[in-house]
Structure 1
Amino acid sequence: MLSDCAFRAQLVLPEQRVLFDYWCGIARGRAMPARADFDPLKFPDLLPHFAVIDLRDGFERSHFRLAGTRLREIYGREITGLTLTEVFSGRRATPWHTIHSRIATDAVCAQGIAHGPAEGREHVVLYWLRLPLSDDGIRVDRILCHDTGASETDVEQISEFTAYCAGQRGPEVLRA
């Protein structure tokens, strides 16, 4: 099992580490914090990169409850209100479904890098972080997302979708 310290060490961006540290702090020894514990206004510079996936109606009906303005650039459209299957379709659907399902089922944190995070967005390299939230402390009812995109010209080309989850020993490489 990947420890919190090892998971944190794999986070690429400094803002991911700050957010993960905050998430751990507000959990206060619980498996995960509640949505009410999370104050997005503590991170004004990160607000455009945040999204919340709402799972309260079940995983198959999950949707983006809210999405920051920068996510429109990453995904090529406004995703607030859209279901996961509407945002992640085509060859990218399976890796994203696997990751979000694992977070919802196992209450693990996940992060990674995806080249072409959504259909038609092959020029975007996405640095992503997913953190589970739970109002009752047991069932994941929301997923806090932090997504930062870069163009291929800004980073070395990535040809695979890589995910690191807190509950595994190494990277899970999902080909799409």
Structure 2
Amino acid sequence: MSIIMQAADQMELGASARARLEPRMGPREAVQVLLEDGETQDALKLLARVLPKRYAVAWACQCARDVPLPLEDKAGAVLAEQWVREPEETHRRAAFEYANAGGYRSIGSWLAASAGWSGGSLAPASQETPVPPPDHLTACAVVAAVNLMAGLDPARFEHRRAEFMARAMSLLGAGETQTS
């Protein structure tokens, strides 16, 4: 199965979006086709999934720098950025714990979750048996964070989300995609 079709399955793209995709498409082409056909939410999901996890988290953090966030949300962004700069287990775990404590109810929680769900274990730190996150969870958290940030100004939601996505499209030019 192609990377595009696998990502479409994992991110549960709608039937109309899936019908527009072809297995031979590259990530940039696939996302662009969805955008051109007005399938913006599915394009966002696909974009977040085909980016390498660190790129996806870094992109969400970059978007967060452009919107006014309360301190709680900034704290989640700081934890996610720390993991991007130094993708070590201690940083991932700190982001995961922050997101979990926040109940995934805020932009900061979703930003932290994007890093926290990037690998490692979702089990409590005291549990010996690891519970690895499904590979697409980072993308799910990024989608939630980007949509919430775009929604800070409901009148500009679509415009803001398009601006955010345009930034990430350049990241697809490198030809790197998530393979796991």
Q: Which has the larger Rg?
A: 2
Instruction: Report the structure, 1 or 2, having the larger helix content.
Output: 2
Determine if the TM-score, normalized by the shorter chain, exceeds 0.5: no
TM norm structure 2: 0.28
TM-score, length-scaled by structure 1: 0.28
